Amino acid sequence: MVHGRILDYAYVDTDTLFRDFHISKEGYSDAQAEESRLRYGKNILSGRASDTVLYRLRRAFINPFAIILLILASISFVVDVLLASNFSRNMTTVIIILCMLLISGIVRFIQEMRAKHVSDHLTRMISSNVMVHRNGKWTGISSTELVVGDHIRLFAGDRVPADIRLTVANDLFVSQSVITGESAVLEKHSSILQQGQARSYGEYSNIAFMGSSITGGFGEGIVLAVGEDTVYGGFSTSESPLKNGFDRGANSIAWVLIHFMTVLIPVVFIACGLTKGNWFSAFLFALSVAVGLTPEMLPMVINACLAKGSAAMGKKQTVVKNINAMQGFGSMDILCVDKTGTLTGDVISLEYYMDVLGNESEKVLDLAYLNSLYHTGVKNHLDSAILKCLEMPGHEAHFQTLAAQYKKLDELPFDYERRFASVLVENGQEHLLIIKGSIDEVCRRCSHVEYRGCRSAMDAQSSASVHAIVDDMLEDGMKVLAVAYKPMTQPQLTMTDEQDFILLGYLAFFDAPKQTAADAIHKLQKLHVDIRVLTGDQRDVAVSICRRLGIDTAQTLTGSDLEKLTDDELPIKIEHATVFAELSPKQKVHVLQTLQTNGHTVGFLGDGMNDLPAIVESDVGISVDTAAEAVKEGADVILLKKDLNVLEEGIKEGRKAFSNVSKYIKITASSNFGNIFSIVIASVLLPFFPMTSVQLLLLNLLYDILCLVLPWDHVDEDTCSQPLEWSGRTLGRFMRFFGPISSFFDILTFVFLFFVLCPAVCGGSFSALAQNDEQLRFIALFQTGWFLESMWTQVLILHLLRTPRVPLFQSMPARPVMLVTLLGNLVFTVLTFTPVGTVIGLTALPLPYFGFLAVIVLLYLLLVTLAKSWYIRRYHELL
């Protein structure tokens, strides 16, 4: 809502404003600014604009997986510490879980802060500061340093940095679409409002609201509200609800694990309670099963994979502001791009200036020059190309004389509804209104056409003549604007005056396709990322450029085509179209939202203010370092080079990180599920627990520590060639398929240990042994034997399931993965022969056991290889 200070000072004169806030002719001093900051607050929002250390810290430590582990740690603390006796009190489980959470959070936080540091440095380096009058001089400062009472200046292209009471407004036009959602451009002034005049944001004609963009003109004003007190600050949230692709996937995976837990934990608890008679011990064991089923290191492995991916992208001229955007890169299957600067170069040249029949016309160029010279809206490549005519040999004096003869009176800047810019100039007593813009929109407002000084009324034949001249140039990929004028009597301009023009001629610009664009598009298509072109340019121009670059243009839609489609037709038409032309910013968002509704992960690359809504709405918002401040602020990724080849590298890195995370989640969860399934069976049949709670937790912890090397693993090229889905949709299927295979070999190991090895070493069956030391030795041998079998099978299966190919022969793991996993297994095997192993209930095993272990591991790997081949044939995927 509008702050009280806005309501008060919109209805009083500026002298009262200066007096009440003690603003002198020198502006605020540094001391006054600090006092105002303490009194009214800082100009920082709670959302992404603030991006504070606390925000990064919260995002590093709070996620679905961390919450699951924290709940389990809390339960364990209550049971193992608070409710336990002094003798049985044990903090091991709690400490292990909390250490994992802490280390995982620190890893992510460090990477988040690195990304923030680079992003902040980039923003400081290339963002536009706000001009403020302090200590008697105008100086540029960061918008976050503004305070209530500051006197600031606004220029075309600026984003309004706070809620401002205007004191000077010179042809000041503002877009408030970020607040109201309306695309209309409003003219602002500095005069006093009449009481009761303002009933909506658009009616506060002397107030510039934070987040609005200056589309034309110049203004000065006094800051009345900052940060959370602004209208925009009231709308701001900590994270866009649509920027949650990563969280949706994480929640999906977390719920799969929760569902398995809710089924298995009661089963284990009841089975152990009934067979062992000790319900408290059964509860503790069921709790360890819950922890064992959860991949404890999952947050850390995810963070390490994403951090490595973002660091690799940093070396390839890409700054990842939001580490979760790596997931978006991995699953992105459609990339929407604007034409200018992405598919074509940023430098546009004026090729032709001609009359209505295509002959060169100096008058067309003169009027176009005056329009571009006096147009105070956001400058663009077309205006720059026209103004470069001043540098043409022999023309400098002519254009200087022209500017001296014709003085500006008023203007209406370009907007995406009218699609042209109007400038009113005078030459003595003569007033001319000159417009320049879209062919269709300008011609629609013309009633006459002029050729070599002769005017005639516009008719159907005139319209056909326009297309006869223009269409060939459009098909050649040129951008064409129309120029028209009309005499005026009054010195002021309103939108009602924009009728009955005289069509004078056309301007043709050439925007050459980038040499690297065609190759980059081909590479993206090989990665199964479809390119959709969303541009405001004419249809023929967009189609011509796209054809040269090899983009299919059979299905093309314009903004007017979209408006005619029904709700049922819209998703189908947008799904199949590849080129969208003559779009407004609002229509770009509509196209993007429809693609998302159709099930796509959509990225958007843009750099203009008109691209900001689409960048914010996309799954991966991508901008460049030369973009406006507001655009960079809304983007997840900033490219230091506006080149699609850079994006290709980013997509590959995202998919590599994604694939390695998927390896860990699916393989670990299925292996853990197999172990837990084995425990359920063993708990019913055995007279003792097959593994202690601490051993079970340690087994998972040791395995997970080895998995920390996964971010450095190689990823098969065919895996990176397809978008990857980040969700738990196939996780349950994978667990149910491969988990029981592990359980089968666990049960064989149980049988061997219980009926063969342990009786042979201990001198008899478990029931025949004495109650004390001999049975304890039997249990220790059994638990150690299963501990090692679980460790070896769990680690080696990682090599087998990490790739759809034949491991070691067709797909070699990275050297660190090979060394760490093999050395880890050897070290943990040796652990059973050390005093450390004795502390946790492990003991040395006889040599024959290791012969059995080798055989059981080889058989397990062979069966899983066969099962993997069947699984891939059945479901056409592995991970």
**What span, in angstroms and rounded, lies between the C-alpha atoms of 595 and 585?**
16
- Residue 166 makes CB contacts below 8 A (sequence gap 6+) with 172, 188, 189, 190, 206, 207, 208, 219, 220, 221
Kindly give the pairing relationship between strand 501-510 and strand 446-451: parallel
Angle at 461 between CA 459 and CA 464, to 5 degrees: 115
Backbone angles phi, psi at 22, to 5 degrees: 55, 45
Q: What is the CA radius of gyration of the chain?
A: 35
3-state helix, strand, coil in the chain (%, to 5): 55, 15, 30
HEC secondary structure over 40-72: HCCCCCCCCCCCCHHHHHHHHHCCHHHHHHHHH
**What span, in angstroms and rounded, lies between the C-alpha atoms of 577 and 546?**
13
Tokens linked to 583: 């779009």
Tokens linked to 286: 């069921």
Tokens linked to 490: 């009054």
**What span, in angstroms and rounded, lies between the C-alpha atoms of 782 and 794?**
18
171, 229, 338, 540: which one is catalytic?
338
Contact 389/365 with Cβ under 8 angstroms? yes
Per the annotation, the verdict on 338 as an active-site residue is yes
Tell me the three state secondary structure of residue 181. coil
- Residue 262 makes CB contacts below 8 A (sequence gap 6+) with none
C-alpha dihedral, 411 to 360 to 443 to 401, nearest 10° = 10
Kindly give the pairing relationship between strand 556-558 and strand 213-225: unpaired
Contact 238/46 with Cβ under 8 angstroms? yes
Angle at 827 between CA 825 and CA 832, to 5 degrees: 100
Residues in the chain: 879
Tokens linked to 163: 């809620």
**What span, in angstroms and rounded, lies between the C-alpha atoms of 620 and 603?**
5
Letter for the amino acid at 863?
Answer: L
- Residue 277 is classified by DSSP as S
**What span, in angstroms and rounded, lies between the C-alpha atoms of 751 and 743?**
12
Active site residues: 338
